Amino acid sequence: MSHRGRVEVICGSMFSGKTEELIRRMKRAQFAHQKVEIFKPAIDTRYSDDDVVTHEGVAIPSTPVENSASILLLGSNSDVIGIDEAQFFDENLPSICNRLAEKGIRVIVAGLDVDYMGKPFGPMPNLCAIADEVMKVHAICVRCGSLAYISHRKVAGDQQVQLGATNEYEPLCRECYQREMHR
C-alpha cells in the first residue's frame, strides 16, 4: 500500500487542545490499521514518563526521545508519526519531518507556536513554514472569554523552557496579556 507523505502541524497556546487533536488523528490512523508511532521529548514528564497525555488526562502510549534524529531512526517503518510538544525539540526537527514525509510517511506535529513572552518557540516557525497543513487551535482567555493568543506564565522564572500546567500558566488573549505585562 502506498501512502503520500505529508507534514501536518497543530499549533496554539496551552489549553487549546493541541494534544487532544494529535491523539484524535493518531487514533483514527490506528482504526484504519495504519502503523503509528508517537514521540515526545524526554524532558516532558509532567503527566507521564512515557505516554502523551492531555491536560484532561486522555493518554496514548508514546516513545520519549532526546532529540529529533531519534524520531528518524525509530519511526522509519511507520505509516503515521505523531510528535507532541515539538517546541522542545532541536532545530533539526523540520528537516527530519521533511525526510519522513519524502519517504511517504504522514507526520503530525503538535506544539506551542510562541513562548510565554510571545516569541516564536523552537522549531515551530520552521515547521509551520514547511507543513502541508497548519491548524491553529485556540484556548479561551481566562480573563475575558476571547480567543487566547498566549500561554501567560504565572510563576517566576525567565528561562524559555519551564514545564507546567494550570498552576503555572494561563491562556490570555492579546489585550489581557498586554494589560498584565503593563501592571
- Which CATH number belongs to the domain containing residue 75 in this structure? 3.40.50.300
Which residue type occupies 29?
A
The whole-number pLDDT of residue 156 equals 63
Catalytic residue among 85, 91, 102, 168: 85
Within-domain flag for 120: yes
The answer to whether the beta carbons of residues 163 and 39 sit under 8 Å apart is no
User: How far is residue 88's CA from residue 3's CA, in Å, rounded to a whole number?
Assistant: 28
Q: Span 153-180, mean pLDDT? A: 75
147 found inside a domain: no
Counting Cβ atoms within 10 Å, is residue 33 exposed (0-12), middle (13-18) or buried (19+)?
Answer: exposed
Residue 69 lies in a domain: yes
Task: Report how many domains make up the chain.
Answer: 1
Alpha-carbon separation of residue 164 from 26, 34, 46, 80, 174 (angstroms): 24, 33, 7, 28, 21
Model pTM score = 0.90
Asked if 14 and 56 touch (Cβ cutoff 8 Å), the reply is no
Q: Is residue 177 part of a domain?
A: no
Residue 159 lies in a domain: no
Tell me which DSSP letter residue 147 carries: B
36-69: per-residue pLDDT in tens? 999 999 887 666 667 777 777 777 889 999 999 9
Distance CA 67, CA 87 (A): 12
pLDDT tens, residue by residue, 63-113: 999 999 999 999 989 999 999 999 999 999 999 999 999 999 999 999 999
Q: Establish whether 85 is a catalytic residue.
A: yes
Residue 18 lies in a domain: yes
State which residues form the domain around 94.
6-138
In a domain, 172, yes or no: no
110 within a domain of the structure (yes/no):
yes
